[in-house]
Amino acid sequence: DAGVIQSPRHEVTEMGQEVTLRCKPISGHDYLFWYRQTMMRGLELLIYFNNNVPIDDSGMPEDRFSAKMPNASFSTLKIQPSEPRDSAVYFCASSSARTGSYEQYFGPGTRLTVT
């Protein structure tokens, strides 16, 4: 299995621009998570989906952030407009109810820099 795939791996953009991060979960997994990591705040959950339905978006910072999961094999996290404080590493993770332990498998992350 290829694992969780994220793209792009690095993104540099200017303040005010729209940014779209992409994630392909492990095939067969029914949970998908978006996390953000910064030096100041550590790793924090933004939103997670179960069977393509958003379950908990309480970690989404504000209306500038939105996430979608149109099907079981694809999700996007969009920031519009982007701000310098959005600079962070964004991780996507997936898990499966079938394992019984629900361990999460993380992608390599997207390093976002907003100038």
Partner 1 sequence: DAKTTQPTSMDCAEGRAANLPCNHSTISGNEYVYWYRQIHSQGPQYIIHGLKNNETNEMASLIITEDRKSSTLILPHATLRDTAVYYCIVRVGNQGGKLIFGQGTELSVKP
Q: Which stretch binds partner 1 (CB under 8 A): 18-26, 60-68, 74-82, 97-105?
A: 97-105
Decide: is 52 part of the binding site for partner 1 (CB under 8 A).
no
List the one residue out of 20, 35, 30 whose CA is nearest residue 92: 35
Decide: is 76 part of the binding site for partner 1 (CB under 8 A).
no
Q: Which stretch binds partner 1 (CB under 8 A): 14-22, 47-55, 61-69, 72-80?
A: 47-55
Decide: is 108 part of the binding site for partner 1 (CB under 8 A).
yes
Complex with partner 1: residue 62 or 103, whichever CB lies closer = 103
List the one residue out of 70, 34, 67, 65 whose CA is nearest residue 52: 70
Q: Which two tokens mark 20? A: 């779209």
